[in-house]
Amino acid sequence: MNQKSERYSRQVLFAPLSKGGQDRLASSCAVVVGCGALGSVSAMALVRAGVGTVRLIDRDFPELSNLQRQVLFCEDDVSAGIPKSVAAAQYLKKMNSEVIVVPIVADITHRNAVDLLGKCDVIIDGTDNFETRYLLNEVACQRGIPWVHGGAIGAEGRVMTVIPGQSACLRCLVPDPPQPGTLPTCDTSGILGTTSMVIGALQATEAIKLLSGNAADVITGLTAIDLWTGQWQRVSLKSLSVRGCPTCREHDFPWLEGRFQSTARVLCGREAVQIDPLQRSSPIDLEQLAKRLSLLGRVVSNPWLVRFEVELGLSLSIFSDGRTIVSGTREEPRARALVARYLGA
């Protein structure tokens, strides 16, 4: 038995998968959007399973509070300020050298969503906000790409697999974005690390079914789980999938067309606000920026970002694409003022 055969020998013994399914996995491409609690678990499972190419997209960097549930990072990653997608890729490549792991440090917006997501076989939702989820849903429906939605708060989680043209989409289930403050978040309700592990594993399993030629076995509808009480619930969405959904039935894509967008957003589970540039231009010269800001305070820089400490507990992290994460506040006006003061944006 050669090394490759031995690596997946236990997996191919599983009858629904078999060698044929394993070969299909090896020739497939999965995109994981968000390398946090759910995304890190899903990415690890897909890489270990032998999916040929796994692209990791994330806009952020790890913090100490992430380590309780985000399984691809360590304390050194936090200290170095390495972007999540890069740190995750470094770890995953050591896990399985046969898989092509591609890290992408970017925020998915209507400007780049099709370029980042358009050429893959499945999309995994590891995001923490509905704005990005609607974008994923619209790209998937427009391009005919299956995607697996997931969410986790406290001990509760949900999974929903969307197969364009065959099942209900996210907008069938949630026609309009929830109003700010109406839903619990990991910042307000907390989250168990085990919750994200279970939900991320379910998402990866759904993706493996799709990639291995077992789409007929995909779980239909919405699966909701409460790990604390041990309750599992399956909700049928058949009635929703036959209604006149603006996205999957009428092919209206407002998020993808940029009709709905924000330039500032509070990041889930942390005292931080992301400020997006109004227009994308050429990449920022991070080296020159680091030199300029170092005259004003403590600076930590790497090839992906410059982190400038404004004062104790308050910092700016500037990415080459112009995004800035202001850590230490949840007030958008203050975050904008700091960006304008130090970056002139």
Q: Please tell me the predicted confidence (pLDDT) of residue 196.
A: 98
Length of the chain in terms of residues written: 345
Measured in whole angstroms, the distance separating CA 296 from the mean position of its chain's CA atoms is 34
Query: Residue holding tokens 């972007």?
Result: 83
Q: Say if CB 42 and CB 35 are below 8 A apart.
A: no
Residue 319 has pLDDT above 80, yes or no: yes
Helix (H, G, I), strand (E, B), or coil: what is residue 144? coil
Q: Say if CB 34 and CB 128 are below 8 A apart.
A: yes
Q: Please tell me the predicted confidence (pLDDT) of residue 181.
A: 47
Does 186 qualify as catalytic in the annotation?
yes
Helix (H, G, I), strand (E, B), or coil: what is residue 67? coil
Residue 278 has pLDDT above 60, yes or no: no
* Domains, the chain, ordered by start: 3-241 (3.40.50.720), 264-343 (3.30.310.10)
Helix (H, G, I), strand (E, B), or coil: what is residue 120? coil
User: Is the sign of the CA dihedral 127, 144, 31, 200 positive or negative?
Assistant: positive
Tokens of residue 159, six digits: 């999974």
Q: What is the longest distance spanned by two Cα atoms in the chain? A: 63
Q: Where are the beta strands (DSSP E) in the chain?
A: 29-33, 53-58, 100-105, 122-125, 147-153, 156-162, 222-226, 231-235, 264-266, 272-275, 299-301, 305-311, 314-319, 324-327
DSSP per position, 151-176: EEEBTEEEEEEE-TTTS--HHHH-SS
Question: Which is catalytic among the residues 120, 141, 172, 186?
Answer: 186
pLDDT per position as a tens digit, 138-189? 999 999 999 999 999 999 999 999 999 999 999 999 988 775 445 677 765 7
For β-strands 272-275 and 264-266, DSSP reports them as: antiparallel
User: Is the sign of the CA dihedral 95, 97, 98, 99 positive or negative?
Assistant: positive
Residue 100 has pLDDT above 50, yes or no: yes
pLDDT per position as a tens digit, 32-74? 999 999 999 999 999 999 999 999 999 888 989 899 999 999 9
Q: For the whole model, what pTM was predicted?
A: 0.84
Residue 1 has pLDDT above 60, yes or no: no
